A and B are shown apart, each in its own frame.
Chain A
């Protein structure tokens, strides 16, 4: 009897484990509808964002009764992407940054949507430079570019005022940035200027600052090879600026290990006066980092040097290569409706804006056109009555951005080269005796070795 009950317990335990393991692999809906898992917002987004999404989800499902939309919290990160893809936990439709599309494409991690883009009839409306970023060597298209940004100089109006500066006259040269940063640091004890430094974001921002100084870090030779020139005068000027602000002015605070999330948190908390980042970060700052919109200011990154520009970027709506044809078809409908039609169609743009405004979500965040300029201008006109972001506090950006030359990120081992530049920035900000020329020379040698490797 005793051994029987023991056996029963053991048997139930075994069954339980096997059943729960089996449950891990089961899935699928029984409604007869195509279940489409789509990316929504990064973790930490406020409830109102989800309310707006629920409205849009209902609108789409009404138009497409055979599709069941399942929203999934999603934040693009390199570490989790491949694992989620392999584990089947990635949404069917999600977004990835321009920078990473080429690598994902080479890894076979994106769905081919050439025919779908062509069938929808707006392939020729895309900005060709942007569309090129999602094409492989044979011209096949692997995603829908849906949003682009330029680099901007974000600043805290409250800290400007505290330092006796006019927040409506943000700096227009790098010398003014340095002077204002020092004024803020002296008056408030906060970091007047800071830049990202870790997780490859330091390299990303140093590249942006290089472009603003007229330099380029990597040259695409258009034959599949790349030439590193990390020790160019633009990068040297950018690093010299950081070194002077850090060690001569002491205007960069005391935390020199910040990534994208870290610097946004510090900025939203009022600990940073100015920093450079994508012009579209306002939405995340308010939605995910609780920034008070009243203290926010945005202007263009100052430019100098021989051939200056603004480093551009953005993201692409893509689909997992692991989904079946029915899900793919549903995914294309969703991308077209959720991401693209609001750029092309007045009714769609207004419906989208109304849903966002009703939930107090940002409408009018500064972005750049992914389609042609005429379509973009028209969309801005449709949205004008619904804009709820403080665009007057972003006037410096709107006034100057279309005069700056857009420069795309390099496609040659982008993230690895950024990692090398992270080290340069961290050294310069933490070692007073750092030799900028020697650091850049070494980084350049390492970058070329990387670019030459397969």
Chain B
């Protein structure tokens, strides 16, 4: 009888070296250096700064003061509500639209490439240029581009971004236009992985196109949809570019978002003297999004695995 024993091999620097450890390190080093210097180090530094009052040259510890100041700022509530409003609007209009368009485009037999290219075109335009273009379109005078178009239908000129009520939906409209192309391409790729025999089976059973979408396509896309949803929630929670460039948070703080408030703390109101509060709010936002992502993945784990 032979007794098989698995003896744990002792790891020494020599075995590490013989096992190619040094080469592994050499290969990983560029990534470590780049991420360390440009990504991880700033993250750690901002966490430290959230407990300091600093002008980037000198700093002293202030405990939780920055967090207390941020939480007692009346603008924080406005920024949170606005960010939530943007996220909900973007979710309502911006999330289903790419799925719908991708499904419709996948049904197109000829010229699919042209439609894909057209859908992706807004993504190719640099975001700042896109916003400046839309700012031009949103000209609130009767001769503005959109106002001219709607005047053909007898609709009077709209204020678009020049009014507290319509500013945020206008921002969402542009953001949806700008972001839909990327999502469509991802959904189109995911649709290719749906086994055609499922559609054949559904067709044999006499399913209509909508029943095929509901019972075959969407369940098959579930995993991608879940990932896209959490990515969109994270992206919309960090919305900055649109309110910054379109309205600077106005009119009357109607489009100030959490990230724009962070920017104002850091840069606008105090000549850069308020980095502590800016990083404190950044840390809170990061923790919130991390917690949200964790809960989301836990909740959807079972469905995604299925």
Contacts and interface: CB of A to CB of B under 8 A. Distances in A.
Interface of A: 3, 6-7, 10-11, 13-14, 17-18, 21, 78-83, 85-86, 100, 103-104, 107-109, 189, 197-200, 253-257, 259, 321-322, 415-416, 419, 422-423, 426-427, 429-431, 446
Given A83-B56, A254-B141, A446-B74, A415 B251 contact: no
A426 B251 CA distance: 5
Interface in B13-71: 23, 26-27, 29-30, 33-34, 37, 55-58
Given A6-B23, A254-B141, A429-B251, A17 B270 contact: no
B133 to A, nearest CB: 16
A13 to B, nearest CB: 5
Interface string B157-189: 001011110000000000000000000000000
Interface of B: 23, 26-27, 29-30, 33-34, 37, 55-58, 74, 139-141, 144, 159, 161-164, 247-253, 263-264, 266-273, 275
A11 B27 CA distance: 8
B252 A431 contact: yes
Contacts of A103: 270-271, 273
Given A255-B140, A426-B251, A416 B33 contact: no
B272 A82 contact: yes
Q: Which 7 A-B pairs have the closest CB atoms?
A: A82-B272, A86-B56, A79-B267, A254-B140, A427-B252, A430-B251, A198-B248
Contact of A100 (B139, B141, B249, B271): B271
16 contacts: A78-B270, A78-B272, A79-B268, A82-B55, A103-B271, A107-B273, A253-B141, A254-B141, A256-B251, A322-B57, A415-B269, A415-B271, A416-B270, A419-B264, A430-B250, A430-B251
Nearest to B74: A446
Contact of A13 (B30, B250, B269): B30
A14 B30 CA distance: 5
B23 A3 contact: yes
A254 B162 CA distance: 8
A103 B273 CA distance: 9
Contacts of A423: 250, 252-253
A199 B34 contact: no
Contact of B162 (A256, A422, A446): A256
Contacts of B250: 197-198, 256-257, 422-423, 426, 430
B37 A21 contact: yes
A431 B164 contact: yes
Nearest to A197: B250
Given A81-B272, A254-B162, A416-B270, 19 more contacts: A10-B27, A10-B30, A14-B30, A17-B33, A78-B272, A79-B263, A80-B267, A83-B272, A103-B273, A198-B249, A198-B250, A199-B268, A257-B161, A257-B248, A321-B57, A426-B252, A427-B164, A430-B159, A431-B252
